[in-house]
Amino acid sequence: MLSRWIPAAGRQRGLLARLGSRAYSYGRVFDAAARDGELRVFVVAGEVSGDSLASRLMASLRKLSPVPVRFAGVGGELMCKEGLQSLFPMEEIAIMGLWELLPHIYNVKRKIKDTLDAAILFRPHAVVTVDSKGFSFRLLQQLKCRYNQKVDSPLHVHYVAPSFWAWKGGESRLSKLHNFVDHMLCILPFEDEICRLHGLPATYVGHPLLDDAAGLNVDSELSPDMSMRQRSGEAFSLEHGLSSDATILTMLPGSRMQEVARMLPIFFRTVQHLSHTLNDLSLVIPVAPHRDVRTYVENVVRSVPFPVVLIPGGSLEKRYGAFNASKAALCTSGTAVMELMLAKLPCVVAYQAHFLTECFIHLRKKINFISLPNILLDSPIVPEILFRACTDKNLAAKLSEVIFNDEVRQLQVGSAERMLQVLYEPIKRQGNLFAEELGDSGLSSDVYSPSTIAALTVLYTDKH
């Protein structure tokens, strides 16, 4: 099914090779790199999802650039595999929430200064910040002041637009961002037009879920009883010694230490409420690539009265193998919900925050949902149990529905195709536009991955 929307990996590599072999002579970053004989990109990510996005962008830039590429900045394990030597551990700036940030303000300010000094010394052609808007926007603001409108100042690109659409007055703040952001890379199809209407140049590059779908390379011709999804789940269970009759639940408590410590105990208590109704219960936890998170999770699972399989959360294959073997999932809000939709694994979204952060959210929010599938389809497809309502008893009741009620399950499973369509159709048009602008009509029918579109935007979008 997915191959109707996403090209196979081989086609992607062929497309990248054809584009990379040409020598186009426009685009501020491209021209500066050609002049200097190398492309220098300073890239900053502060979260696991940002690390994944940035690493894919780095790989695409390396494939598309006609000159050698050097990277510097801040990132995680995946970015380091692409050649980055991070200035400091990414986890030191992975902080979410208003009240939760207060104890870390001094350290974050110091990290901004260290990053700023390193960026100036690196003399980049482009500075790309990925998500983590609190850290990213302060860094870009101070960089803009330090360069003081010099002609050869780098292009400032921010990847993942802040969720301005979720907050009262959020859209009006976009007009201020153009003072230090030259281009916004959006991952939701309605964001780029709103950004441009408020004076901020923007491009919809596609949600990273589409790169996941391409990486999984699902074969739509397999019969339903021998699907790749089923085979992947069976292989996962066999590899980890789980019975074919076991009820496997996946837990995704988040990637930041603060949210994992808050949500994982609630998830375990939730499952205990249901243990008498589930046959041969086993749990799977994809663990974020964060040393403190790994240590915490390993310590907590020792006291859990069920078999628990820990897998590396950074592995696409293992993560989706776990999803395919599972009956349902508990997850915090974020990228994981989209991944579960792609895997057609029914889930319940749960989230808690500090009381003051919760009050702020209730006062300022203007949408009814927090999970992206619900937002994109404007419907309560995925159950959300949030804030003070997020108790183990409430979660257990909703999770029981998701496990045993076929109608509830089918609602989520049947919505995956619609969600992919919403994400994919605009990126197809964007890919065709790039093919036309770059002068190769033979590429106009090809589909580009989000990381490819993002890399092309960085290379060929003029600052002015």
Query: pLDDT tens digits, residue range 339-374?
Result: 999 999 999 999 988 777 777 777 777 788 889 999
- The answer on pLDDT for 214 being more than 90 is no
Residues of the chain with pLDDT > 90: what percent?
A: 57
Across 26-30, 87-91, 142-146, 300-304, least confident range: 26-30
For 216-419, CATH gives 3.40.50.2000
pLDDT band at 432 (very low <50, low <70, confident <90, very high): confident
**Alpha carbon distance 249, 20 (integer Å):** 43
Q: What are phi and psi of 347, to 5 degrees?
A: -150, 170
Query: Residue 295's pLDDT is what?
Result: 94
Q: What are phi and psi of 21, to 5 degrees?
A: -85, -5
Query: Residue 90's pLDDT is what?
Result: 87
Q: What angle do CA 1, 450, 368 make, to 5 degrees?
A: 80
CB 40 within 8 A of CB 122: yes
Q: What is the pLDDT of residues 283-326, one digit of tens each?
A: 999 998 888 899 999 999 999 999 999 999 888 899 999 999 99
Whole-model pTM?
0.86
- The answer on pLDDT for 194 being more than 60 is yes
- The answer on pLDDT for 223 being more than 60 is no
For 29-212+439-460, CATH gives 3.40.50.2000
Query: Residue 71's pLDDT is what?
Result: 98
Residue 445, token pair as written in the block: 């029918």
Q: What is the pLDDT of residues 68-85, one digit of tens each?
A: 999 999 999 999 999 999
Q: What is the mean pLDDT of the chain?
A: 85
Where are the domain boundaries for CATH 3.40.50.2000 in the chain? 29-212+439-460, 216-419
- The answer on pLDDT for 5 being more than 90 is no
